[in-house]
A and B are shown apart, each in its own frame.
Chain A
Amino acid sequence: MLEVKDLHVTVEGNEILKGLSLSIKAGEVHALMGPNGAGKSTLSAVIAGKDGYEVTQGSITFEGKDVLEMEIEERAQAGLLLGFQYPVEIPGVKNIYLLKAALNAQRVARGESEIPAPEFMKLIKEQLNFMKMDPSFLQRAVNEGFSGGEKKRNEILQMLVLQPKLAMLDEIDSGLDIDAMKVVADGVNSLRDQERAILLVTHYQRLLDYIVPDKVHVLVDGRIVKSGDAELAKELEANGYEGIEESAA
C-alpha cells in the first residue's frame, strides 16, 4: 500500500531523513519508534505534504501513485490521513463544517455523490458516541479552546468519519491520561481491518499496550536501524534506545 524507498529529506538545509525505506501493506499496523530528533515526525509530515520539507532523493508511492506529485488535499482524498501531534486551531470554522466539507471532498474525488444530510447526521452521532464526545463539540470551532485530550479525540473522530486507507498518527498518545488514551486506542483499533493500514509514530511503548502493532521499526538518526514485531517495542521499553543506537553504529 505504502512504499517509501531510500527517502532523503532536508529541512532548512539539514538532512533529517537519510535513506529511509518502509513498506506497509493493507491490514497492517506499524509503529515507528525512536528517540527525539530521529526524524519520526518528519516522515509523516512529508507523506502528508507539509511545506518546508525538501525531498532530495528517494520516493514515496501510495497504491502505486507517486505521493510527492500529489497536492496535499489529493493525498487526503486518496485516503492518506495524518493525525497531528499538535492539532491546529481553526478559529471560526465549526467542527461540523470541517467534517462535512472534508467527507464530501473525499466522496466527490471518488466520483460519489455528496452525503445526504440525514445519513451524515447518523454517522456523526455514532462516532461521537464512540469517542465519548458531547454533540456540542460539533458547534465549536475546530480545536479552539480544546484541552489536549479533546484535541486528540477530535483527531480520531475525524479519522472515524473519513475512514482513511492509511492513517498516520503522530504522537497521538502525548498529553493523554490513561482513560483518554483508552478511548483514543479504541477509536484507532476500530479502524483496523484488512483493507486499511495504520502507522503509529510514538516515543513510548505505552500506547502499544493498547494498540498492538504488527511491525515495529526503530528510527535513529534518519534511518530505520531495526525492525521487528511487538516484542521489539517491549525490548526498547526495557533497554532504551541506547543499545540499539550502539548496535547500529
Chain B
Amino acid sequence: MSEVLTFLETLKARSQQRAEEPTWIAARRQAGAARFEAMGFPTRRDEEWKYTDVRAISQTHFALTENAEFSQAGAAALTLPIDAYRLTFVDGVFSAALSDLDGLPQGLQILPLSQALTENHEAVGGPLGRLTGVEFSPFAALNTAFMEEGAVVRLAPGTVVEKPIVLQFLSRANAEPVMCHPRVLVEAAGRSEATLIEHYTGEADAQNFTNVVGEYMLDRGAIFNHYKLQEAPLGDYHVASMHVEQNRDSRYRSYNLNLGGALVRNDLISDLNGKGAEANFLGLFFGQGRQHVDNHTKVNHNAPLTFSNENYKGILGDRAHGVFNGKVFVKRDSQKIEGFQSNQNLLLSDRARIDAKPELEIYADDVKCSHGTTTGQLDEEAVYAMRTRGIDKATARALLTLAFAGEVLEEVTLDAISERVELAVAGKLPERFNLTGLVETASALNE
C-alpha cells in the first residue's frame, strides 16, 4: 500500500497548489482518488492483469512537471511530417508554442482540456468520464484524480475534416521521472468525419509514465479514423484506456501501432450500440530488448446488425513479452452480427514470449463470428532462399518481418506513419535496401 500512498501524497501536494475548481470536477477527482486508494495497483492475481506486472510503475516515484519546455529543433525531429492541426503536450503539459491550430474549419473545435476545465466548458461537463469511469481500472481512477490536461475535440454534425488532427505527446529525459495523466475526449456528431492521430514519442533517455484515458463518442453515421502511434522512449511506461461509443451506422477504424515503451498496456473497447455500426481494429505491436507490450481489446456488440473486424499482429524479439487479449461480446438477442478476430504473432528469438487469449462470448444465435491466434517464427527456408539471391541474412530477416506486418501496414494509408513503422520494425536495413524506393518502383510499374 505504501506505493499507493506515494501517489496519493503527490496528488495531495498538487491539490493544494491548484486554484479552486468547479464542484463537479473536484468531486470527480475525489471519486478517482478514493477508488484508486480502495483498489490499489493491479497485481497478477487480477485476471485482467494476469500477464502484466506493473510494479515497475507502482514502485517508482514520479513527480509532476509544470513546464512544457522543449527545443523547437528537438520537437521538429520528432514530429510526424504530416500537414495537420496539432496539439502538443510535453510531459503532459500543453505547449502552445509547439501547437498549430491555424485555420480550423468551421464545425471543428479543438481545445486543451485545461482550458475546457477552467472555462467549465459544456464540452466536458457531461461527456468527461462518461465512457471510462473511475470503476474501469485503478489506472483510470488514478487518471481521474490527477486529470488536468489533454485534448477536447468536437465535430459538429456533418463536418468533414480533411486534414488529420494530431495530438502529440512528448516525453523528456528529465533529471527525475515524471508522470502525466492526459485525457482525450472526442465527440463526433452525426455524419461527421475525421482522422485523429495520437502520437507518443520523446527523447531517447526519458523514463516517464504516461497514463492516458481516451473517450471517443461517435454519433449516427460518423466516420472516425483513429491512429495511435506509440513510439515512446524505451524507458517510458505507457498505460492507455481507450473507450469508443458507436451509435447507428457509425464507422470506427483503429490503427493501434505500438513500437516503444518499456511497459505498455492498452485497453481498447468499442461499444456498438446502434444498428449498422462497424468497428475495425488493426493492431501492430513490436517489442525488443525487455519491452513488455500488452493489448487488451473488447468489442461489445450491443445491437443487432453490427460488425467488427480485428487483426492484430505481434512481433517480438530478444526477451520481449507480448500479450494479446481480444474479446468479442455479443449481447443477448443481438442478431445478424458479424465479429471476426485474428491475432498472429512472430517470435524472432527463443526467449521472446507471447500470451495470446482470444475470447468469444455470444448470447445470440444468428451471428457470424470467428477468432483465431497463431504464433510462429521466421521461415528459415525463406531466409535461405533470399540469401541465395545475394540478400544478406539481416536484411532477409528484416524483409520477412516487414512482410509479416504487411497485412496491417498496407491498411495504414498515411505514409509518414507506415514509414515510421517500417523503420522501427526493419530498422537494421542497410540504406541500399531502401524499401520506399522499392515501393515507388513497384507503383511506377502499375502506371
In the bound complex, do residue B446 and residue A139 qualify as a contact, i.e. CB atoms below 8 Å apart? Answer: yes
Instruction: Decide yes or no whether A90 CB sits under 8 A from chain B.
Output: yes
In the bound complex, do residue A104 and residue B432 qualify as a contact, i.e. CB atoms below 8 Å apart? Answer: yes
**Category for how many chain B residues contact A:** 20 to 34
Residue among A51, A73, A108 with max Cβ neighbours from chain B (10 Å):
A73
Instruction: Decide yes or no whether B388 CB sits under 8 A from chain A.
Output: yes
In the bound complex, do residue B385 and residue A102 qualify as a contact, i.e. CB atoms below 8 Å apart? Answer: no
In the bound complex, do residue B444 and residue A121 qualify as a contact, i.e. CB atoms below 8 Å apart? Answer: yes
Identity of the chain A residue whose Cβ is nearest the Cβ of B410 in the assembled complex: A92
Mask for B393-406, Cβ within 8 A of A = 1, else 0?
A: 10100011011101
In the bound complex, do residue A73 and residue B399 qualify as a contact, i.e. CB atoms below 8 Å apart? Answer: no
Interface stretch of the complex, out of B87-95, B116-124, B236-244, B435-443: B435-443
Q: What CA separation (Å) do A70 and B426 show in the bound complex?
A: 25
In the bound complex, do residue A48 and residue B388 qualify as a contact, i.e. CB atoms below 8 Å apart? Answer: yes
Restricting to B370-424, which residues have a CB under 8 Å from any CB of A?
A: 379-382, 384-393, 395, 399-400, 402-404, 406-407
Instruction: Decide yes or no whether A220 CB sits under 8 A from chain B.
Output: no
In the bound complex, do residue A93 and residue B433 qualify as a contact, i.e. CB atoms below 8 Å apart? Answer: no
In the bound complex, do residue A72 and residue B387 qualify as a contact, i.e. CB atoms below 8 Å apart? Answer: yes
Using known A-B contacts A97-B438, A121-B441, A138-B442, determine if residue A90 contacts B390 with beta carbons closer than 8 Å. no
State the majority secondary structure of interface residues on A: helix
**Residues of B close to A121: CB separation below 8 A:** 441, 444-445
In the bound complex, do residue B403 and residue A105 qualify as a contact, i.e. CB atoms below 8 Å apart? Answer: no
CB distance from A65 to the nearest CB of B (A): 15
CB distance from B343 to the nearest CB of A (A): 17
In the bound complex, do residue B385 and residue A84 qualify as a contact, i.e. CB atoms below 8 Å apart? Answer: yes
**Residues of A close to B406: CB separation below 8 A:** 92
Q: What CA separation (Å) do A162 and B389 show in the bound complex?
A: 8
CB distance from A95 to the nearest CB of B (A): 9
In the bound complex, do residue A101 and residue B388 qualify as a contact, i.e. CB atoms below 8 Å apart? Answer: no
Identity of the chain A residue whose Cβ is nearest the Cβ of B392 in the assembled complex: A73
Using known A-B contacts A90-B403, A96-B438, determine if residue A162 contacts B390 with beta carbons closer than 8 Å. yes
In the bound complex, do residue B384 and residue A51 qualify as a contact, i.e. CB atoms below 8 Å apart? Answer: yes
**Residues of B close to A84: CB separation below 8 A:** 385
Instruction: Decide yes or no whether A42 CB sits under 8 A from chain B.
Output: no
Restricting to A84-127, which residues have a CB under 8 Å from any CB of B?
A: 84, 87-94, 96-98, 100-102, 104-106, 108-109, 114, 117, 120-121, 124
**Residues of A close to B381: CB separation below 8 A:** 88
Instruction: Decide yes or no whether A77 CB sits under 8 A from chain B.
Output: yes
Instruction: Decide yes or no whether A202 CB sits under 8 A from chain B.
Output: no
Pick from A106, A117, A138: contact of B390, CB under 8 Å: A106
Please list the residues of chain A having a beta carbon within 8 angstroms of any beta carbon in chain B. 48-51, 71-73, 75-77, 81-82, 84, 87-94, 96-98, 100-102, 104-106, 108-109, 114, 117, 120-121, 124, 135, 138-139, 141-142, 158, 162
Q: List 15 A-B contacts (CB under 8 A).
A: A51-B380, A72-B388, A76-B387, A81-B389, A88-B384, A91-B379, A96-B438, A98-B389, A101-B386, A102-B386, A102-B389, A104-B432, A105-B395, A117-B440, A139-B446
* 3 nearest A-B residue pairs (beta carbon): A92-B403, A76-B390, A102-B389
